[in-house]
A and B are shown apart, each in its own frame.
Chain A
């Protein structure tokens, strides 16, 4: 197990270095003078300019600058946001729980509906139900989610008045941020009704962000199930006299989940990309909205830091999924131990 973990970590090292190069290069290749870009519209005098250059280490050769940057990164120093004057890392981790909460809810939504839908489609292969489920999931897969979000706002918020339009919690409530996860924080606080309010705010963003993962999971579950159901061991399970329910949920699903978990792992990148759009539409104070804001505000240290931290988040989640994969699929673990 440990060797497996180390193996995976070793594979991540070149990618990590690659991402730091991209993040470092990002600021270097920005059009215009770096000092002026960083100073914004205020402009600087000639002496100040040299001072800033020296401060930033920009007077040294590029490779030295990169090593300095890498050293900073490894020490958790990602620079300071020009707009807020706060360390980028601090800002990121303050906003991260909002995005994590949304992404987790979206993936739960996608799994809870997508996996059963995929199983049913596989079991009823070729039937009207199968065609219906696959048709709907293809529509979901083709959905421009920023438009889908607006459409849901028109329908549920404006016409039916069922859900709030934006934010995480009504201003009427005052909840202390303990974990940063609004659902947990509102439960911990003594504000009555705040939990339901937070839940209300979550519904539409969750549906919007979860739509594409839902479609992908339903399609992948179906094809994985179809493959597994034709395996010899499923026939063996049926020959044991087990009920269809048990054959499907214990023997087939366990094997099909190996594929599905991999797919869910790949979802993380899609979720974070989707979070940029979803958070923009729903005014959700998370990483996605922050990155977009930083790009427009030309807050390049924030963009650079955000890029790096998001890549690290994805790598971490993928590592966890890899480990989980080894856990569900006994073959992987034993193979790695032998080699």
Chain B
């Protein structure tokens, strides 16, 4: 049985101008020790879905799902008190902005030992050695002295390492990393990513990596879920996806990778993710899809074999990709 099973997860926000559907029917399944990547542009609902899983959304959010099972426990029917026993211990999450995600008023040591006290009891002092060990694990030099440092005395990369130390402190079975490297310098990004993979392997934990970077997906994950405007458009193994993407959006994301650019210009995807006000009729991707047909503009597609498209790209034809304006299927 999978460690995490989510079926038809939907999140709606009540706003002044009506309800906004940020996540629309996502299905996920993560096995123990597996790395799953969730990809999509900004605003595609990646973070919201994971925050919903953690129960961290504000009260304006309405979360519904057919099932949400973690380690055999039903997260949906659980009350807050029960959920808090799992959150931070068995499932934990690190965030995009390490500098603002640590409390500026407390020392690093305090914030790490706090989570241990919360889930295992005992005094904070008794966990000092454990905290030092954790800081070592995440590659922070002179860990003993860092315990008394405040977040503002550390660099962004250091803060993210502290964040990771804090979140793996209780040996979680599942770690969710929400764009853990986006806010960091390019040179640090690779280090943090490497660290995450290393920890994932040594601890045998499952890792959900939220990212918008296809290159990161290729290097790390086994399975990938592609989200677009809150909908899950494709879910497959990474290898297959990279070999032959079936959804035009996945293909477009891959084409946007610098190493796939065949000319001097990068293949950017025209337009932006639709918001609450400008949802198109039919398939949500149709205004930006170079393959869109009349059908795509009229009817929303249904999920078939993990792909949300009227006309999945059956056989990739590399020669056709040179000109994205050409419609493959009309040839």
Contact = CB atoms under 8 A, between A and B. Distances in A.
A and B physically associate: yes
Interface in A247-288: 251, 254-255, 258
Contacts of B86: 241
A243 B104 CA distance: 20
Nearest to A254: B105
Contacts of A328: 105
A236 interface: yes
Contacts of B103: 233, 236-237, 251, 254-255
**Secondary structure of the A side of the interface?**
helix
A334 B152 contact: yes
B102 interface: yes
B150 interface: yes
A241 B150 contact: no
B100 to A, nearest CB: 4
Contacts of A246: 118
A242 B88 contact: yes
A163 interface: no
Given A231-B100, A330-B150, A331-B150, A241 B119 contact: yes
A233 B104 contact: yes
Given A232-B95, A330-B150, A334-B152, A240 B115 contact: yes
Given A233-B100, A331-B150, A240 B114 contact: yes
A238 interface: yes
Nearest to B51: A235
B118 A240 contact: yes
A239 B54 contact: yes
B95 A241 contact: no
Interface centre among A237, A243, A254 (most CB of B within 10 A): A237
Contacts of A242: 84, 88, 114-115, 118
B101 A232 contact: yes
B104 A334 contact: no
Nearest to B104: A331
Contact of B102 (A233, A241, A258, A329): A233
Nearest to A328: B105
Contacts of A254: 103, 105-106
Contacts of A329: 104-105
B89 A236 contact: no
Interface residues of B, number: 30
A172 B175 CA distance: 72
Contacts of B119: 241
Interface residues of A, number: 23
Contacts of A244: 80
A235 B104 contact: no
B281 interface: no
B104 A241 contact: no
B152 A233 contact: no
Contact of B56 (A238, A255, A334): A238
Contacts of B153: 334
Contact of A241 (B88, B97, B105, B106): B88
A330 B108 CA distance: 13
Interface string B90-102: 0011010100111
A244 B80 CA distance: 10
B307 interface: no
A171 B97 CA distance: 65
Contact of B85 (A231, A241, A255): A241
Contacts of B114: 240, 242
Contact of B89 (A238, A241, A330): A241
A243 B84 contact: yes
B149 to A, nearest CB: 10
Nearest to B116: A240
A28 to B, nearest CB: 50
A233 B56 contact: no
B87 interface: yes
B101 A233 contact: yes
A235 B115 contact: no
B166 interface: yes
B286 to A, nearest CB: 35
B168 interface: no
Interface string B39-74: 000000000000000101000000000000000000
A246 B85 CA distance: 14
Interface string B159-185: 000010011000000000000000000
A257 to B, nearest CB: 9
Contacts of A331: 104, 150, 152
Highest count of chain B CB atoms <10 Å: which of A233, A239, A254, A255:
A239
A52 B115 CA distance: 75
A235 B101 contact: yes
B166 A240 contact: yes
Contacts of B54: 239
Contacts of B104: 233, 255, 329-331
Interface in B108-141: 114-115, 118-119
B152 A330 contact: yes
Contacts of A231: 100
A329 B56 CA distance: 27
Nearest to B55: A238
**Max chain B C-beta neighbours (<10 A), residue from A231, A232, A251:** A232
Contacts of B101: 232-233, 235-236
Contacts of A235: 56, 95, 101
14 contacts: A232-B101, A233-B104, A235-B95, A237-B103, A239-B88, A239-B93, A239-B95, A240-B118, A242-B88, A254-B103, A328-B105, A330-B105, A331-B150, A334-B153
Interface of A: 231-233, 235-244, 246, 251, 254-255, 258, 328-331, 334
10 smallest CB-CB distances across A and B, nearest first, come from: A241-B88, A240-B88, A232-B100, A233-B103, A241-B87, A232-B101, A241-B84, A240-B115, A254-B105, A330-B150
